[in-house]
Amino acid sequence: MDYEGPIYRPPSEADSLLVQATIGCPHNRCTFCMVYKNGPRYRARPVVDIIRDLDEASGLYGQGVRTLFFPAGNTIAMPTDDLCQICRHARRVFPTLERITVYGSSQYIHHKGPEALKRLADAGLNRIHVGLESGDDAVLRKIRKGTTAAQQIDAGRWTLEAGIQLSLYVILGIAGAAGSRSHAICTADVLNQINPDFIRLRTFVPKIGTPLLEMVQEGAFEMLGPHGILTETAMLLRRLTASSQLTSDHYTNYINLHGRLPESRDRLLDQLNAALKRPESDFRPFFIGDQ
**CA angle 259–76–147, rounded 5-degree value:** 75
> Which of 6, 10, 71, 73 is the binder for ligand SF4 (CB under 6 A)?
73
17-18/22-23 β-pairing: unpaired
Q: What is the rounded CA–CA span in Å between residue 280 and residue 231? A: 12
**Where do runs of H (alpha helix) occur along the chain?**
47-61, 80-93, 106-123, 137-142, 149-161, 176-194, 211-218, 226-239, 265-276
Neighbours of 241 (CB within 10 A): 14
In the complex, least distance from residue 37 CB atom to ligand SF4, rounded to whole angstroms: 8
| Part of the chain binding ligand SF4 (CB under 6 A), chosen from 20-28, 57-65, 189-197, 262-270 | 20-28
Q: For residue 33, state whether it binds ligand SF4 (rule: CB under 6 A).
A: yes
Is 65 a binding residue for ligand SF4 by CB under 6 A? The answer is no
CA distance 186 to 224: 18
Q: How far is the CB of 279 from ligand SF4 (least distance, A)?
A: 33
Does position 35 bind ligand SF4 by CB under 6 A? yes
Our measurement of the distance from residue 17's CA atom to the centroid of its chain's CA atoms, rounded to an integer in Å, reads: 18
Q: What is the DSSP string of 186-253?
A: HHHHHHHHH--SEEEEEE---BTT-HHHHHHHHTSS----HHHHHHHHHHHHHH-----EEE--STT-
195 binds ligand SF4 (CB under 6 A): no
Output 4 or 56, the one with its CB closest to ligand SF4.
4
Q: Which is nearer to ligand SF4, 29 or 66 (CB)?
A: 29
Number of residues that bind ligand SF4 (CB under 6 A): 11
Q: How far is the CB of 261 from ligand SF4 (least distance, A)?
A: 25
* Member of 28, 85, 192, 264 binding ligand SF4 (CB under 6 A): 28
212 is a site residue for ligand SF4 (CB under 6 A): no
Residues 108-167 that bind ligand SF4 (CB under 6 A): 131
Query: What residues line the site for ligand SF4 (CB under 6 A)?
Result: 25, 27-30, 33, 35, 73-74, 105, 131
